[in-house]
Amino acid sequence: MIKLFSGSANPKLSQEVASILNLPLSSSKITRFANSEVKVTIQEKVKESTCFVIQPTSNPTDTHLMELLFFADALKRNGAKKIIAVIPYFGYARQNREHLPGESVSVNVVIRILEYVGFDAIFAVTLHDEATEGVFSVPFKNIDGFLVLHKKISSYLSNHFKNEAVIIVSPDQGGVERAQNFADSFFHQKNVEIAVVEKKRNLEKIHQSKALNLFGNVKNKIAIIVDDIITSGQTLVNAADLCLKKGAKKVIAAVVHPDLSPSAKETIEKSPIEKIFVTNTIQLKEKIDKIEVVSCASLIANAIKEYLS
Ligand code: R5P
């Protein structure tokens, strides 16, 4: 038997995946105590079943992560044959090295814990750094979230900026490969020219960065900034400002994970970015006019089907 469980982080996405797979969401109960502890109860038989648990470990990250870990324990105790964590947004993925001496490499710790509690396989959507895949010692599937953004952006461009020249922009050095892959799939050809922003993070202060330089020719083009995550919005907005300064006609953005901090709405609204296309790996708390959400449920459903085939 195949069973699909949902944590509390993004039940709407879980429901969409379940509908595509033509499966009901299995019954579970998440109890939160007044002291903030959480309890997970599996409310149906899972003996000998292959169980998937869909839970982005998005803000509040630790809360959602603990829930996911307790799902693993409860499913194992109830005799599940296999348990698979489907983590559309993988929290802590950006803490993948010691940026400054003395720091923890938190993503490695999270991976070890997920393995320790018994997950047989782990799926994520657009993990921050592909190199982190090497840390997993159970099968890991990195689902490409950008796949659902290409089509939407193409139709947006043909409706609003038909026949305009377009360039893909990475807002930092770390995102060059991501932007190149996006450009190759977007234009259906290899080695498309992209532009890259030289970003400098302030490692002493959180959420602060500067866009120093732009390499590549954005003049008279529609710039599509491609990034995996938007949190404060600084990276995107700084890159957009620089693109416009260097002569870009308009700026739009394609970002997989809308991990928005409280100040992001205002930053985005005040920015010169026309439109930001994101996926629903993280459920947005409020509507932001410039943000258009594209569902990635079909990608997750396909990954589940592939695993089971
Ligand atoms: C950085 O390496 C990531 O790919 C994103 O560019 C970054 O995390 C976005 O954060 P913010 O929106 O706070 O600038």
| CATH assignment at residue 252 | 3.40.50.2020
Active site residue 199: yes
Same domain, 169 and 207: yes
Query: What pTM, to 2 d.p., does this model score?
Result: 0.95
CA 232–ligand 1 middle distance (angstroms): 8
Query: What is residue 82's predicted lDDT score, i.e. its pLDDT?
Result: 98
AA letter at 207 = H
Query: What is residue 108's predicted lDDT score, i.e. its pLDDT?
Result: 98
The answer to whether the CB of 61 is under 6 A from ligand 1 is: no
- Choice among 141, 199, 221, 265 that is catalytic: 199
* Ligand 1 atom at minimal distance to the Cα of residue 234: 14
Structural domain includes residue 290? no
Query: What is residue 112's predicted lDDT score, i.e. its pLDDT?
Result: 98
Helices vs. strands in the chain: H and E counts, helices first? 8, 14
Same domain, 103 and 19: yes
Angle, to 10 degrees, between the axis of helix 147-160 and the axis of helix 176-187? Answer: 60
Same domain, 100 and 33: yes
The answer to whether the CB of 207 is under 6 A from ligand 1 is: yes
CA 95–ligand 1 middle distance (angstroms): 12
Structural domain includes residue 97? yes
Domains held by the chain: number: 2
Same domain, 121 and 62: yes
Same domain, 135 and 236: no
Query: What is residue 206's predicted lDDT score, i.e. its pLDDT?
Result: 80
The answer to whether the CB of 258 is under 6 A from ligand 1 is: no
Same domain, 135 and 189: no
Pocket test for ligand 1, best of 203, 231, 238, 278 (most atoms within 8 A of CB): 231
Domain that holds residue 38: 2-144+298-308
Task: Say how far apart CA 25 and CA 43 lie, in whole Å.
Answer: 11
Same domain, 64 and 10: yes
Same domain, 94 and 161: no
Same domain, 273 and 151: yes
Q: Count CB-CB contacts under 10 A for residue 206.
A: 10
CA 235–ligand 1 middle distance (angstroms): 6
Spans in the chain with pLDDT lower than 70: none
Give which of 105, 86, 103 is closest to 14, Cα–Cα.
86
Same domain, 250 and 167: yes
Could you tell me how far CA 285 lies from the centroid of its own chain? 16
The answer to whether the CB of 175 is under 6 A from ligand 1 is: yes
CA 278–ligand 1 middle distance (angstroms): 14
Same domain, 220 and 152: yes
Structural domain includes residue 215? yes
Check the CA dihedral 261-262-265-268 and report its sign: negative
The answer to whether the CB of 229 is under 6 A from ligand 1 is: yes
Nearest 5 degrees, angle CA 30-CA 70-CA 293?
65
AA letter at 118 = G
* 204: phi then psi, degrees, rounded to nearest 5: -85, -20
CA distances from 20 to 35, 168, 296, 301 (A): 37, 32, 11, 7
Structural domain includes residue 293? no
